């Protein structure tokens, strides 16, 4: 029997329908979330070939819906499922994923027509939704006539099939690879929930990153195999970790199998590890609810210990490789700073920088640069080397003496870096007072900043202005600004980076605002100097930056900054460093 039906519109609809999905794959995932909420054990996703006119089909074996549920719940747009039925699903007790009640529209992000066929309680119900009808109706969705068809079927049959047809040819077609990558971390290891993409079940191999596999025969655990991936980027903590699989079924939740107790493994590296231990011989040790393995199982302890060592060795190799790459990116900076040290200090200084890079694993590049800059400053202090000598002499002494020397080194290490960071903060306070005084001149800001270019950021900390460059600027400004123009003579600083590229800095007084006139003048100075000295970047600093300059911030070779912004950013970085140094253990991940 066929009868007309209508949408029932929640007052929140206007804002909710304005939301969109980042990709076709993301929209399909919304339909899979619905299958999860329907307690499905299997979902089959069929994707068409690129530019094919075949539909996308998402079929599940969940509870399905009766005709009444389709009319009163499915068509009740923006009705929160959790409000109606609770936070957990009825049959399997799953955490409900549906939040806003608009997942039913997800397929229309990529298709013109969506057909729904759902079976439950001996009835198969079908419904068709056309995208253009929704767009034409706008806020009057209640006026759209929808045909809901219901007929009898075998009572045991249940599940829902969504067919998306007339796909939007302007959008990139969904690919099995991209869809699997999106789904595998959230659903790839869920018990009683299997996804099939074009008839291929989701597997460990679908996780992007470096994959490893090992197998061993153990006395108590029997044959044990581990498969794991170290991903390129960290994932959410709830998705990371290793699961146990026994008899083809996942037991319990993912864990880090003891890896999280190892100080040498940074937490952010842990969040890149996803895998599974297969130990079928442990089936008798699994609890009745299949939620865990008995704690005092000798086989489980043996398998877990072997797996921990196996994963840890691979992670150590990855960490070493990535720390070496981070160090290589800064090697010129490190070499330049250490060139002035006695030769016997250099090897140790390199080791110390590597140690800090390991502690900072996973931090933002700008924060790493701040710490390396402060560390290199501290390397020049004699406190380091007196303690190093004590450690070397203690190597031949008893273990306790050597341990005390190492502990002393750690304390000096943190103390010297803390002292250096504190000194820099004091300098920032003085610069802040200088910049706040409207009577301060360009030359005074120049003098204060010329030997402290780290204030502008770690990338400027090693810039230098030698006598030759100073002479170039003096000659240029002397020739160009003489006579009546002498009063307009700019305050310029020419510096050179380790790569040889020049940076021209123009200092404006704190009372001045940097605007389009400053931009035009700066480019004129640079154009005059470029033919004889090569390409150079330009930095213009003043009391404030005119809002009209915002469109020009994207220029790679020209930047406009205010003293307040420069000092504030530098202070934020140093305060972060001091907080890390005063945290027990230092640089907690």
pLDDT digits (tens, 9 = 90+) for 101-128: 566 777 787 788 999 999 999 999 999 9
- Rounded to the nearest 5°, which phi and psi values hold at 354? -60, -40
Q: Which of 291, 314, 337 is the last residue of a domain?
A: 314
Decide which of 261 and 584 is more confident: 261
Which one-letter DSSP state was computed for residue 511? T
Q: Is residue 333 part of a domain?
A: yes
The pLDDT of residue 71 is: 87
CA 522 to chain centre: 37
The pLDDT of residue 139 is: 59
Decide which of 61 and 448 is more confident: 61
- pLDDT of 525 strictly over 70: yes
Q: Is residue 321 part of a domain?
A: no
Q: What angle do CA 394, 400, 402 make, to 5 degrees?
A: 25
Is 416:378 a contact under the CB 8 Å cutoff?
yes
- pLDDT of 414 strictly over 60: yes
Give the span between the Cα atoms of 302 and 576, in whole angstroms: 42
* Residue carrying structure tokens 């304390």: 411
Q: Is residue 213 part of a domain?
A: yes
Is 164:39 a contact under the CB 8 Å cutoff?
no
Q: Is residue 394 part of a domain?
A: yes
The pLDDT of residue 30 is: 87
Q: SS3 for 573?
A: helix
Burial level of 191, CB count in 10 A (0-12/13-18/19+)? middle
Q: Which is it for strands 194-197 and 159-167: parallel, antiparallel or unpaired?
A: unpaired
For residue 150, give its domain range: 2-200
CATH label of the domain that carries residue 444: 3.40.1350
Average pLDDT, the chain: 81
CATH label of the domain that carries residue 239: 3.30.230.80
The pLDDT of residue 14 is: 38
C-alpha dihedral sign at 577, 581, 584, 585: positive
- pLDDT of 588 strictly over 60: no
Q: Is residue 516 part of a domain?
A: yes
Residues 249 and 269 in one domain: yes
Banded pLDDT at 389 (limits 50, 70, 90)? low
Helices 382-394 and 399-436: crossing angle in degrees, nearest 10, is: 170
Residues 156 and 14 in one domain: yes
Q: Is residue 578 part of a domain?
A: no
- pLDDT of 19 strictly over 60: no
Strand order in the sheet with 273-278: 210-218, 222-230, 273-278, 241-246, 249-255
Q: What is the pTM of this model?
A: 0.55
Give the span between the Cα atoms of 562 and 559, in whole angstroms: 10
282-317 pLDDT per residue, tens: 999 988 777 889 888 999 999 999 999 999 999 999
The pLDDT of residue 117 is: 95
Residues 78 and 26 in one domain: yes
C-alpha dihedral sign at 426, 460, 502, 542: negative
Decide which of 507 and 413 is more confident: 507
Q: Which of 314, 344, 368 is the last residue of a domain?
A: 314
Residues 30 and 115 in one domain: yes
The pLDDT of residue 12 is: 43
Residues 75 and 186 in one domain: yes
Give the span between the Cα atoms of 391 and 513, in whole angstroms: 54
**Which token pair is 180?**
């699997």
Residues 147 and 109 in one domain: yes
Lowest mean per-residue pLDDT among 98-107, 208-217, 246-255: 98-107
Residues 138 and 246 in one domain: no
Of 94-98, 137-141, 261-265, the range with the highest mean pLDDT is 261-265
Give the span between the Cα atoms of 352 and 448, in whole angstroms: 30
How confident is the model over 339-363, as a mean pLDDT? Answer: 75
Residues 333 and 272 in one domain: no
Q: Is residue 231 part of a domain?
A: yes
The pLDDT of residue 16 is: 42
C-alpha dihedral sign at 228, 197, 166, 127: negative
Distance from first CA to last CA of the chain, Å, rounded? 62
The pLDDT of residue 62 is: 94
Decide which of 164 and 518 is more confident: 164
- pLDDT of 249 strictly over 60: yes
The pLDDT of residue 380 is: 66
Banded pLDDT at 181 (limits 50, 70, 90)? confident
Looking at the 3D structure of the chain, how many domains does it have? 4
- pLDDT of 415 strictly over 80: no
Q: Is residue 584 part of a domain?
A: no
Residues 156 and 56 in one domain: yes
Decide which of 328 and 33 is more confident: 33
How confident is the model over 64-86, as a mean pLDDT? Answer: 76
Of 306-315, 399-408, 536-545, the range with the highest mean pLDDT is 306-315
CATH label of the domain that carries residue 145: 3.30.565.10
Give the span between the Cα atoms of 209 and 233, in whole angstroms: 8
C-alpha dihedral sign at 139, 145, 151, 153: negative
Is 57:161 a contact under the CB 8 Å cutoff?
yes
- pLDDT of 99 strictly over 90: no
- Among candidate residues 504, 509, 552, 549, the one with its CA nearest the CA of residue 528: 504
- pLDDT of 36 strictly over 80: yes
**Which token pair is 468?**
């030759």
Is 82:98 a contact under the CB 8 Å cutoff?
yes
- Among candidate residues 243, 244, 240, 242, the one with its CA nearest the CA of residue 272: 240
- Rounded to the nearest 5°, which phi and psi values hold at 127? -155, 140
The pLDDT of residue 278 is: 92
- pLDDT of 363 strictly over 80: no
Q: Which of 292, 314, 336 is the last residue of a domain?
A: 314
Residues 445 and 424 in one domain: no
Number of other residues whose CB lies within 10 A of the CB of residue 27: 23
How confident is the model over 78-84, as a mean pLDDT? Answer: 59
The pLDDT of residue 18 is: 38
The pLDDT of residue 61 is: 95
Residues 284 and 194 in one domain: no
Residues 527 and 452 in one domain: yes
């Amino acid at each position: 029997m066929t009868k007309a039906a209508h949408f029932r519109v929640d007052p929140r609809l206007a804002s909710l329908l304005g939301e969109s999905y980042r990709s076709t794959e993301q929209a399909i995932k919304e339909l899979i979330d619905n299958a999860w909420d329907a307690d499905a054990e299997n979902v089959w996703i069929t994707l068409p070939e690129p530019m094919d006119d075949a539909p996308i089909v998402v079929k599940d074996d969940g509870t399905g819906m009766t005709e009444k549920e389709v009319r009163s719940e499915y068509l009740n747009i923006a009705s929160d499922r959790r409000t109606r039925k609770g936070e957990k699903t009825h049959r399997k007790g799953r955490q409900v994923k549906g939040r806003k009640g608009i997942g039913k529209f997800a397929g229309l992000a990529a298709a013109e027509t969506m057909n729904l066929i759902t079976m439950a309680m001996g009835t198969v119900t079908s419904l068709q939704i056309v995208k253009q009808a929704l767009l034409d109706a706008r806020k009057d969705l209640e006026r759209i006539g929808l045909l809901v068809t219901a007929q009898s079927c075998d009572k045991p049959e249940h599940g829902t099939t969504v067919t998306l047809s007339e796909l939007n040819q302007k959008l990139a077609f969904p690919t099995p690879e991209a869809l699997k990558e999106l789904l595998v971390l959230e659903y790839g290891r869920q018990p009683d929930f299997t996804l099939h993409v074009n008839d291929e079940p989701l597997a460990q191999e679908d996780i992007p990153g470096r994959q490893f596999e090992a197998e061993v025969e153990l006395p108590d655990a029997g044959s044990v195999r581990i498969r794991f991936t170290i991903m390129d980027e960290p994932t959410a903590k709830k998705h990371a970790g290793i699961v146990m699989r026994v008899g083809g079924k996942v037991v319990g939740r993912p864990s880090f199998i003891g890896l999280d107790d190892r100080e040498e493994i940074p937490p952010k590296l842990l969040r890149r590890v996803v895998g599974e231990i297969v130990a079928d011989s442990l089936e008798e040790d699994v609890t009745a609810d299949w939620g865990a393995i008995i704690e005092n199982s000798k086989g489980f302890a043996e398998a877990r210990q072997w797996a921990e060592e196996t994963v840890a060795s691979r992670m150590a190799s990855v960490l070493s490789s990535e720390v070496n790459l981070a160090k290589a990116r800064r090697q010129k900076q490190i070499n330049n700073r250490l060139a002035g040290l006695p030769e016997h200090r250099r090897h140790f200084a390199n080791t110390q920088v590597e140690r800090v890079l390991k502690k900072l694993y996973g931090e933002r590049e700008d924060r790493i640069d701040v710490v390396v800059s402060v560390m290199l400053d501290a390397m020049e202090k004699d406190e380091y080397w007196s303690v190093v000598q004590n450690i070397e002499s203690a190597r031949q002494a008893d273990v306790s003496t050597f341990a005390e020397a190492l502990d002393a080194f750690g304390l000096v290490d943190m103390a010297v870096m803390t002292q250096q960071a504190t000194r820099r903060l004091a300098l920032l306070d003085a610069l802040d007072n200088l910049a706040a005084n409207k009577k301060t001149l360009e030359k005074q800001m120049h003098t204060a900043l010329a030997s402290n270019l780290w204030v502008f950021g770690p990338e400027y900390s090693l810039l230098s202005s030698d006598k030759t460059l100073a002479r170039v600027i003096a000659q240029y400004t002397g020739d160009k600004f003489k006579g009546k123009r002498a009063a307009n003579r700019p305050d310029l600083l020419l510096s050179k980076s380790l790569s040889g590229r020049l940076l021209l800095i123009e200092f404006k007084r704190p009372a001045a605002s940097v605007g389009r006139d400053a931009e035009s003048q700066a480019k004129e100075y640079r154009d005059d100097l470029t033919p004889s000295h090569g390409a150079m970047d330009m930095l213009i600093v003043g009391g404030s930056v005119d809002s009209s300059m915002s469109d020009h911030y994207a220029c790679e070779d020209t930047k406009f900054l205010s003293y307040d912004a420069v000092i504030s950013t530098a202070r934020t970085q140093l305060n972060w460093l001091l907080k890390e140094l005063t945290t027990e253990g230092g640089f907690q991940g």
